[in-house]
């Protein structure tokens, strides 16, 4: 059984912040800062409850997510598209896999400096006999086809180019995502405090090292010596 989806969800349990919404004047801000999975993270049911209480004419969808279940992601996208509000997406750190699908529901998409956007072929996991698995594969093909159309509609790229990117598990930096047409503009990092490094991306084959490697240790010895000398000067001056 292919366990990548299960491993992604399990590895990121508790690393996110779930779904929450803030309403100010005529805009509701929805934060999706978690893995997309109905057991281990946030689900379409969670988003439906959140959207049910929103009557504001504008929604700002803020995303920082390693992705997750393609079916949940697709359902969440459909809910946002079906809502009466105008949706603007802001990728605060990471919109990978199913999380990139959420951004497709927005009329405009912004991405933070240093943010990442990733697309690949859909995953799921299940148990069953050979017929069940064939049915699941056929369904995934249909979901992929629908998502290809949505990516192409947003980016203006050909379906063949989108399919090639999905097969290759393609990671786009902020400027690359804008150049590819998935995002409309880059927003300054001062607009967000989200960190794409918050998540475990070990299941992905091509995740950028900037997101998977531990940051270099900071040598505090020079700073400590400077502070010690400053303290000595202050005592001498006194």
**What is the assigned CATH class of domain 4-237?**
alpha beta
Higher pLDDT, 220 or 141: 141
Label residue 226 by pLDDT band (50, 70, 90). Answer: low
Q: pLDDT tens digits for 78-117? A: 999 999 999 999 999 999 999 999 999 999 999 999 899 9
Label residue 234 by pLDDT band (50, 70, 90). Answer: low
Q: What is the pLDDT of residue 101?
A: 93
pTM, rounded to two decimals = 0.78
Label residue 230 by pLDDT band (50, 70, 90). Answer: low
Q: pLDDT tens digits for 147-181? A: 999 999 999 999 999 999 999 999 999 999 999 99
Q: What is the pLDDT of residue 24?
A: 87
Q: What is the pLDDT of residue 1?
A: 40
Q: pLDDT tens digits for 65-79? A: 998 888 899 899 999
Q: What is the pLDDT of residue 206?
A: 76
Q: pLDDT tens digits for 4-45? A: 666 665 556 656 567 889 998 899 999 999 989 888 889 999
- Residue in 140, 159, 141 with CA at minimum distance from that of residue 149: 159
Q: What is the pLDDT of residue 139?
A: 87
Alpha helix ranges (H) inside 156-219: 159-167, 174-180, 209-212
Number of residues written out for the chain: 238
The structure tokens 């805009």 sit at 27
Domain ranges of the chain: 4-237
Six-digit token pair at 28?
A: 């509701």
Where b means 16+ CB within 10 Å and e means fewer, 129-165 reads: eeeeeeeeeeebeebbeebbebbbebbebeeeebbeb
Where b means 16+ CB within 10 Å and e means fewer, 8-38 reads: bbebbeeebeebebeeeeebbbbbbbbbbbb
Q: What is the pLDDT of residue 89?
A: 97
Q: What is the pLDDT of residue 40?
A: 82
Label residue 218 by pLDDT band (50, 70, 90). Answer: very low
The helix (H) or strand (E) run that includes residue 62 is strand 58-65
The average confidence (pLDDT) of the chain is 84
Output the CA torsion sign for 194, 195, 198, 201: positive
Q: What is the pLDDT of residue 10?
A: 59
């Amino acid at each position: 059984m292919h366990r990548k989806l299960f491993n992604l969800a399990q590895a990121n349990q508790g690393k996110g912040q779930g779904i929450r919404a803030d309403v100010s004047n005529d805009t509701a801000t929805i934060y999706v800062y978690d893995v997309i999975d109905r057991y281990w993270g946030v689900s379409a049911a969670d988003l439906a409850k959140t959207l049910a209480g929103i009557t504001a004419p504008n929604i700002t969808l803020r995303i920082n997510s390693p992705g997750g279940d393609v079916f949940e992601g697709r359902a969440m996208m459909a809910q946002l598209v079906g809502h009466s509000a105008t949706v603007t997406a802001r990728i605060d750190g990471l919109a990978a896999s199913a999380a990139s699908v959420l951004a497709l529901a927005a009329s405009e998409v912004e991405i933070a400096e240093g943010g990442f956007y990733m697309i690949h072929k859909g995953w799921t996991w299940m148990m069953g006999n050979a017929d069940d698995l064939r049915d699941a594969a056929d369904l995934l093909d249909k979901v992929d086809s629908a998502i290809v159309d949505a990516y192409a509609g947003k980016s203006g790229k050909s379906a063949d180019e989108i399919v090639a990117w999905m097969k290759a598990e393609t990671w786009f930096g902020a400027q690359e995502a804008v150049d590819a047409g998935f995002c409309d503009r880059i927003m300054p990092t001062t607009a967000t405090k989200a960190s794409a490094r918050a998540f475990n991306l070990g299941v992905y084959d091509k995740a950028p090292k900037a997101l998977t490697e531990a940051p270099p240790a900071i040598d505090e010895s020079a700073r400590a010596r400077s502070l010690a000398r400053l303290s000595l000067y202050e005592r001498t001056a006194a």
